Structure 1
């Protein structure tokens, strides 16, 4: 695990965008993907809101993903495993980089065919608790033609990241503008933020 954590942190230090291609095991990635399918079948995936408003983006003009929050109280073994991995990563991050992270929140996200998320930053204008964004992808055999790339913008450059299964992406929530390009088939992830209360 430490090797995966160091890969994410070292690439973040080098480029401001951490990437680890095998942050999740294949088994955990597949199990979380199945959880999303079950939540979809149970109609528990709901359109997400914008900013820290309670109201959703009714016309889905800005973002088209559906989400469902992870919680240890759900007593779901796969969610427990994922959140324990996040906690281990936070411990390693705090020990090696002195970040002072002491909280987190994560949700499942699915972009159905034809949906996207326009360019934005993850930190709210009225709440600066989100320090780092961490996205873990769950998409097997994803190809460029499937769309749904994560685009991250720095200065005059744009980085395109394919949302392939097991991959994690890590960056500062307040600094990195990013968007999700139009997905041509269902695109799944667990997305969240490492926070300071």
Structure 2
């Protein structure tokens, strides 16, 4: 029996990078986009760091995005719906791929015009809890000339993914190097990690 999450899971199994252009419904994607606009208006987005508390890149030469961590305690209707969607996805992933995922963390992310994130992997060298990366895009009518595409490297071949609203991208955090090329307009997403702790 097919499941709404199987597009993302099956494309990951086929290619090491899952892509689903309809992972989020339009209403949820637009609601989360509005959340980011409000967070920016309230000056709550902060510059993202490199590494965890033990290993940090103080000079911030790798990345230029701003973030705000999600939390159920925020009691935001779209945030709650998104996190429930993620929990349902994890249930399907665990039941079909036996991944043993038992935690997650997600944040809003904004790449303002001129921002980028150089080639990297998502798993910390001193913390292996992050098993899978899951990115959800919130940008309507994104054009090629807007930049900000995600490049995911299969050895030296790069798969280019447009950061179009409703699209999700899924891959192993410790395996797939990736980068965000320079954005030519404000680029919004929710980025997070599925964890085994």
State the TM-score, normalizing by the size of structure 2: 0.96
Q: Which residue of the partner structure matches residue 166 of structure 1? A: 166
> What is the Cα-based RMSD across aligned positions, in Å?
1.3
Identify if the C-alpha distance between structure 1 residues 33 and 126 changes in structure 2 by more than 3 Å, giving closer, same or farther.
Answer: same
In 2, the alpha carbon distance for the partners of 1:42 and 1:57 equals 27
- Structure 2: gaps spanning 5 or more residues: none
In 2, the alpha carbon distance for the partners of 1:112 and 1:32 equals 17
In 1, the alpha carbon distance for the partners of 2:85 and 2:158 equals 29
Q: Which residue of the partner structure matches residue 84 of structure 1? A: 84
Identify if the C-alpha distance between structure 1 residues 86 and 153 changes in structure 2 by more than 3 Å, giving closer, same or farther.
Answer: same
Q: Which residue of the partner structure matches residue 142 of structure 2? A: 142
- Of 27-36 and 49-58, deviating more is 49-58
> What aligned pairs does 1:172-187 form with structure 2 within 5 A after superposition?
172-187=172-187
In 2, the alpha carbon distance for the partners of 1:110 and 1:166 equals 16
Contact 2:33–2:138 (CA under 8 A) maintained in structure 1: yes
Contact 1:64–1:116 (CA under 8 A) maintained in structure 2: yes
- Of 47-56 and 148-157, deviating more is 47-56
Shift of 1:53: 2.8
Shift of 1:4: 3.3
Shift of 1:155: 1.4
Once superposed, which parts of structure 1, at least 4 consecutive aligned residues long, lie more than 2 Å away?
A: 53-60
Q: Which residue of the partner structure matches residue 28 of structure 1? A: 28
Q: Which residue of the partner structure matches residue 104 of structure 1? A: 104
- Structure 1: gaps spanning 5 or more residues: none
| Cα offsets for 1:17-40 (capped at 9, x unmatched) | 000000001110000000000000
In 2, the alpha carbon distance for the partners of 1:37 and 1:54 equals 31
Identify if the C-alpha distance between structure 1 residues 172 and 90 changes in structure 2 by more than 3 Å, giving closer, same or farther.
Answer: same
Q: Which residue of the partner structure matches residue 115 of structure 2? A: 115
